[in-house]
């Protein structure tokens, strides 16, 4: 699914009006009607008090459309206009006149000096937030912040239209009190990038996209900076297996890593290489890893360093398809030297994680030795060591894009919505949950991506598909384990379930047979 920018949304609106020969008011009616339909389907006429707060721009116009339809369908509606300026939009004024024609109880004008003592909102009520939309380009004033704090104090369910009011669509939040905390956001035609970033996602607990009929050709042909990667996006990537294929068909992954006390990381990554479908896997570890690996994971072949506790030389005679390096590696000076010498000689595709990233951060000159399309999989702190600090999540993405372009690599920013950065594109993963916040799951991801490249997926395909499968495994497992009890080994076991889910058909509603 494409994630359109603010400018692209405006252009889509304009083009839709032109091609479909409709006015902006007609498009607003369409959008507001979709919000009403969403509410009506769920409420079925229930007389829960609904408080619709409208700004005086186009988002407020959407709110007035919603309120009008709720009123004409017999709902218990209170409509308020946040009247902080005399600069009302044309479509707001049209819909303000329309709502006055269907109700004896006209919208209450809030002068932006009034207190909230006359507004009675209880916890069981519903607030519809239509104060500001994506076009807000000025600071929120003190009175409006007080209004938003009032929303929070009521503890009522808050539904935001298109975007929580006060939340910028293209930059970080400077003042948390100036943003509505939505329980649910109904976004027009496309999700917003802020729904997926650590600092801004918290402003809406859930979100959903509503189709308001933007021109299909525009939606199809327009290239976006960001895309949301779900099942529909990864299904075309999947490579089916031929009947007469064999283990040699699916490549040979090499996992390089481990140090005394951290052999488990290599075991997890190696298991993941085979669990995702690679034909063979070899682990290269210090000598202390030989018995644990051969015992815990007999399917792996093992090569060891001469040193008992750490890697001092990375030297092997096998010809792997791809190499995953860094898990449990440590940063001993001899290991750093071995890593540097390895990079100077290596020509194979690479997936680098953990201490491999930390070594690169310590000796940034080594970044120039990476093969093109090397995949780096940092968590936030590892990313900061590579690119430096950032002022907000948008700054982080911009710096990561610049880093990825400079070194011609793919960067996987691990998190609640893992984001893959390649050139100027952002790929936001739709799977995963807090169950993955446990030791070893990053090692599993390294193995999954390594195993996919071994099978012939290109670097970007392997990354997007691997991140998806990793998250989907955890999504399936929480039904059995819950968030707290998933461990990394479970995620490996769930890879098969994630594959099967790709081809699982949605359950069809049961039709009662007449007797």
User: What pLDDT was estimated at residue 510?
Assistant: 58
Say whether pLDDT at 219 is over 60.
yes
Q: Which residue matches tokens 């006060």?
A: 166
d(CA 247, CA 244): 10
512: confidence class by pLDDT, cuts 50, 70, 90? low
Say whether pLDDT at 106 is over 90.
no
Say whether pLDDT at 459 is over 80.
yes
Bridge partners, 58 (sequence order):
none
Rg from Cα positions in the chain:
27
Say whether pLDDT at 229 is over 50.
yes
Say whether pLDDT at 473 is over 70.
yes
User: What pLDDT was estimated at residue 137?
Assistant: 78
> Burial, 50: exposed, middle or buried (Cβ in 10 Å; 0-12, 13-18, 19+)?
buried
| 124-128 average pLDDT score | 97
User: What pLDDT was estimated at residue 508?
Assistant: 62
Alpha-helical regions (H) of 455-494: 459-485, 488-493
Tokens found for residue 449: 């991506």
Q: Which residues, including other chains, have CB under 8 Å from residue 225's CB and lie 6 or more apart?
A: 3, 5, 424, 425, 426
User: What pLDDT was estimated at residue 105?
Assistant: 77
């Amino acid at each position: 699914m494409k994630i359109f920018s603010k400018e692209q949304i405006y252009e889509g609106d304009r083009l839709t009006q032109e091609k479909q020969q409709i006015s902006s008011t007609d498009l607003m009616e369409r959008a507001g009607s979709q919000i009403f339909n969403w509410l009506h389907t769920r409420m079925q006429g229930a007389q829960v008090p609904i408080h619709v707060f409208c700004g005086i721009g186009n988002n407020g116009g959407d709110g007035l459309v919603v309120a009008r339809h709720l009123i004409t369908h017999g709902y218990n509606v209170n409509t308020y206009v946040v009247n902080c300026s005399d600069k009302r939009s044309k479509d707001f004024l049209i819909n303000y006149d329309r709502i006055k024609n269907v109700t004896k109880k006209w919208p209450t004008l809030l002068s932006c000096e009034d207190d909230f003592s006359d507004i009675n909102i209880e916890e069981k009520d519903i607030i519809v937030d239509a104060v500001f939309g994506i076009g807000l380009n000025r600071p929120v004033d003190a009175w409006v912040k007080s209004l938003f704090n009032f929303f929070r104090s009521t503890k009522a369910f808050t539904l935001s239209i298109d975007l929580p009011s006060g939340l910028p669509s293209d930059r970080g939040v400077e003042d948390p009190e100036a943003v509505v905390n939505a329980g649910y956001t109904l976004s027009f035609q496309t999700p917003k990038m802020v729904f997926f970033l650590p600092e801004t996602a918290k402003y809406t607990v859930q979100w959903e996209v509503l189709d308001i009929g933007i021109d299909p050709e525009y939606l199809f042909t327009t290239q976006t900076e960001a895309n949301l990667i779900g099942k529909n996006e990864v299904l075309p990537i999947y490579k089916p297996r031929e009947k007469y294929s064999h283990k040699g068909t699916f490549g040979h992954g090499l996992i390089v890593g481990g140090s005394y006390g951290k052999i488990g990381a290599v075991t997890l990554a190696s298991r993941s290489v085979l669990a995702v479908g690679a034909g063979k896997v070899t682990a290269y570890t210090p000598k202390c890893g030989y018995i644990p690996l051969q015992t815990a994971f007999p399917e792996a072949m093992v090569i060891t360093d001469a040193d008992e506790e750490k890697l001092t030389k990375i030297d092997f005679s096998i010809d792997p398809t791809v190499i995953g390096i860094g898990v449990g590696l440590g940063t001993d000076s001899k290991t750093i030297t071995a890593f540097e010498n390895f990079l100077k000689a290596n020509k194979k595709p690479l997936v680098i994680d953990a201490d491999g990233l930390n070594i690169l951060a310590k000796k940034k000159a080594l970044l120039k030795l990476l093969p093109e399309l090397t995949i780096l999989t940092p968590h936030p702190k590892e990313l900061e060591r590579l690119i430096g600090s950032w002022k907000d999540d948008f700054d982080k993405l911009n710096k990561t894009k610049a880093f990825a372009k400079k070194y011609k690599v793919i960067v996987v920013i691990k998190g609640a919505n893992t984001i893959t950065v390649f050139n100027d594109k952002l790929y936001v993963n739709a799977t995963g949950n807090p169950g993955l916040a446990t030791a070893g799951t990053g090692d599993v991801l390294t193995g999954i991506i390594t195993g996919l490249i071994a099978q012939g997926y290109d670097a970007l395909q392997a990354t997007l598909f691997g991140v998806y499968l990793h998250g989907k495994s955890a999504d399936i497992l929480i039904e059995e384990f819950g968030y707290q009890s998933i461990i990394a080994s479970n995620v490996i076991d769930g890879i098969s379930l994630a594959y099967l889910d790709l081809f699982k058909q949605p359950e069809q509603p049961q039709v009662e047979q007449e007797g």
